[in-house]
A and B are shown apart, each in its own frame.
Chain A
Amino acid sequence: MLKRLLLLRGTEIIVLALLASIPLFISNSYALGLLTLLAIYGILLIGLDVTVGYLGQVNLAQAAFLGLGAYAAGISVTLLGFGIFESLAISMLVGLVLGGLLAFPALRLEGPQFALATLSFSALCTTVLNEWEGLTGGAQGLSLTRPGLFGYAFNAQGFYWLCLILFALVWMALRNLLSSQWGRAFEALRDSPIATDAMGVGTYRHKVAGFALGSALGGLAGGLYALNFQYLQPQGFTYDLMVILLLGVVLGGRKSLWGAFFGASLIVLLPNLLSNRLLFEIISALGLLLAVIAGIRGRLRKTTQTFQALAPVVAMSLLVVGGFLVENTENWRKAIFALMLFSVVVGLPDGIMGFAARYLTRLFHLEPPSLPPASALGDVLPKKPVNNSVLLELKELKRYFGGVKAVDGISMTVRTGHVHGLIGPNGSGKSTAVNVISGLYAPTSGEILLQGKALPKGSLFKVARAGVSRTFQNLQLFGELSALDNVMLAIKGAYRIPLPLVLLGLAKAEEKRAQADALALLELVRLKQHARTRAKDLTYGSQRFLEIARALARKPELLILDEPAAGLAHPDVNELVDIIKAIKQYGIAIILIEHHMHVVSELCDVVTVIDGGKVIAEGSPAEVKRDPKVIKAYLGVATEPDGPDTHPLPV
């Protein structure tokens, strides 16, 4: 624990101290300019990494936000006469507001459409900066003089330190944010947006907030950029720069602050690298060597495909050979970037940092921080009163898909503390019914009442907030997150602390409490020893159980389990029955969709049978099993005596 802290924080402090002390030894103004740019691009890339890395959206607007921030600062200084911090605040605000405004409509789109929306935004920004001559000076450019602070005029050195301090602050704030519930939400919504909504964590609002944050950092970087160069031109913020920024993030390593730092160093050094032929040859030869070694190693260990091993070697060879052939490497800038980007995307998909992190954790035997002891389960799931009152009421619920009447007038009542079975043939409308209840689909008509109040319609997120939690027939876990994080994300009311305090790193106590609560729930489903295992590495049975623990973390009034035993082997089915019995002890009502009749008989207080979107029978398990309609539509020949559920015949 201490070792981890020392290594991680120690490296940060040492690197920062080194960066800060360089101007004391070197009085080369050119080198100082590069260092200033490094800090500025560092902030810019951390912002870009939030959208590209954490949200997983291809964002082509970061260069435009740099430009907007730069002009915002420039105009604040020249026209309004603002000081240094006011101008920077304005830059950031412009990024935040415009980022939010762009994100609202654009993030309703997915993948390529979102990329195109950001691309058009960039084009729009460049045009406006170019044409609004009264404000921006147009193609002539905008000159400004860097304002001082309290009568102290910043020289180049002082300004570098200011940039470095801001970079360090951004670094710390983002580290705190990303290791909090926010970071988990960003990871989760990339894996499964549906489950993120169903756990009461709004996918859309987190996406918009994340994008606005990234844009705000872009704006801040822009403000610093303006104050650094003291001269602005719209051509500085076009598509070319965007490609280089993406190269920086991908090469440095996505989803990593250090990755953004490496990416920024690369961007700053690239022009120099290109102007010095010897340096260029050395670097590309090193790249080639690295590609060859990594390729051979990967092939020997059979961890990489032939193409993946060969393509970077070919691309880097082209760089080396091309370096001798062409006269002026700077003219070939774009081709060189393209080749580098190609090799990295193919050969090092996780970037330098992703590659290095794997080896460093192994080298230093870094262990994840220890976990707090689990809370008492009774505190996590306070016992609800069970008084046989009506909890959920469906009135003539209908859902049609085109001409298909998937749910065709279901009325049903679920009482507090009951396990309410929902059975029926495949395609009878069970899953559609619970999808309507949980808000995945809006009903065509009909009413859903929870504790007498109408349940929100057609929004997973709002229904989850109202106290209904669910699992999914086709697992919807957050595969990249650990079992513990999967549960922590869903914990209701884990974070009441406002965002600014999270940024300052004051959410640690809440984090610990959420961990303890999540561990208690993992213990309930017998997964406590796998708390740190990535969800996608768990066995199929454990994944099913993890979904139950995650749904419970919402502390729901009503829990919907959609075929929890599907695909489970005999011993796991027995364990599942025990877990559901334990949950029932806490007074949580359950709707159980299941085909294993043995499970249904053992657990359910009431069973509703659905066929063709309509209720065909309701009653105790025993009553329902004797019903001739149910036997005909669902059970088939009912001849087997009661017995364990290793047999498809009804028991």
Chain B
Amino acid sequence: MLKVENLHAGYGTSEVLLGATLHVKPGMVVALIGANGAGKTTTMRAISGMIKPTQGQVILNGIPVQGMTASRIAKLGLAHSPEGRKVFGPLSVEDNLLLGAYNHLPKFFGFRGKATADLEKVYELFPRLRERFRQAAGTLSGGEQQMLAIGRALMANPKVILLDEPSMGLAPVIVQEVFATIRRLKEAGITLLLVEQFAKSALEVADYAYVMDHGCIAVEGTPAELHQNEKVIAAYLG
């Protein structure tokens, strides 16, 4: 579904990502863990086209997409739920969701009608969003904003979702909710690439995981295999 080969990227003159290779198969939840500054978020941004990779390949569903603009990659079926949620604060919950489906909807008239089914799907997954569909997104609590960001990504009917730090800055009870959400997405058969600081919880939901260190993939394997790896345990699992 998503193949990343020897990806290099960085900001200005500083190279952050030094050749990352990772594969995400359909219906799988793949976790990407590692220390701050290891290059996890940069990987996500290079895949989704928010920054241009300097070298390497990103293949989405058989199509090489590296070097394309973010909006074209999104049209090809990749949705990115960025770190820090980044919802459109002044807009209502429903408008945020509709913007997620922007590429698939008529631009001027009748978009709400066309989007009903997709909206319904998201509201079923997150009933809390239905309750607040008229509320400005900026006034939602952190957990609700995270749900909205995921819901917005789902609206595009993506083939793959990149989920960057969904638990960041959330209360423990909400973090549990976010992980429950990820499990629900997994049960719904959605393909996910997940960056997460809570390594233990991430490994619980993931089918496969990569550990990043200094811009490279240091270790990879199934969660069970990583739980055997002493270095990984010492550094990330405690």
List residues of A whose CB falls within 8 A of some B CB: 302, 404, 423-427, 473-474, 537, 539-542, 563, 566-572, 595, 597, 633-637, 643-650
Residues in A with CB closer than 8 Å to B167 are: 648
B172: min CB distance to chain A, Å? 5
Residues in A with CB closer than 8 Å to B235 are: 570-571
Q: Are B174 and A568 in contact (CB under 8 A)?
A: no
Q: Are A646 and B171 in contact (CB under 8 A)?
A: no
Residues in A with CB closer than 8 Å to B52 are: 302
Within 8 A of A (CB), among B194-209: 197-201
On whether A426 and B143 interact (CB within 8 A), knowing A568-B36, A572-B35, the answer reads yes
Residues in B with CB closer than 8 Å to A595 are: 169-172, 175
Partner of B37, one of A474, A541, A570, A637: A541
On whether A648 and B172 interact (CB within 8 A), knowing A570-B197, A570-B235, the answer reads yes
A29: min CB distance to chain B, Å? 50
Residues in A with CB closer than 8 Å to B168 are: 566-567
B188 near A: Cβ within 8 Å?
A: no
Instruction: Give the tally of cross-chain contacts (CB within 8 A).
Output: 97
Residues in B with CB closer than 8 Å to A425 are: 141, 143, 171, 173-174
Cα–Cα, bound, A473→B38 (Å): 22
For the residues of A in contact with B, the DSSP-based class is: loop
B63 near A: Cβ within 8 Å?
A: no
On whether A566 and B169 interact (CB within 8 A), knowing A572-B35, A646-B199, the answer reads yes
Cα–Cα, bound, A572→B167 (Å): 17
Q: Are B141 and A648 in contact (CB under 8 A)?
A: no
Besides the contacts A563-B169, A568-B36, what 9 more A-B pairs have beta carbons closer than 8 Å?
A425-B173, A426-B169, A426-B171, A541-B35, A567-B165, A572-B36, A595-B172, A634-B171, A648-B179
Cα–Cα, bound, A25→B139 (Å): 73
A113: min CB distance to chain B, Å? 20
Residue of B nearest to A593 (CB): B169
B238 near A: Cβ within 8 Å?
A: yes
Residue of B nearest to A566 (CB): B169
Q: Are B238 and A644 in contact (CB under 8 A)?
A: yes
10 residue pairs of the A-B complex, CB under 8 angstroms, read: A302-B52, A427-B142, A540-B36, A541-B35, A569-B34, A569-B36, A570-B236, A572-B36, A633-B173, A647-B201
Residue of B nearest to A574 (CB): B238
Cα–Cα, bound, A637→B37 (Å): 32
B237 near A: Cβ within 8 Å?
A: yes
On whether A473 and B169 interact (CB within 8 A), knowing A572-B35, A646-B237, the answer reads yes
Q: Are B37 and A540 in contact (CB under 8 A)?
A: yes
On whether A426 and B174 interact (CB within 8 A), knowing A541-B36, A541-B37, A572-B35, the answer reads yes
Can you list, as one digit per residue, whether each of B4-32 has a CB less than 8 Å from chain A (1) or not (0)?
A: 00000000001000000000000000000
B176 near A: Cβ within 8 Å?
A: yes
Partner of A649, one of B35, B143, B172, B237: B172
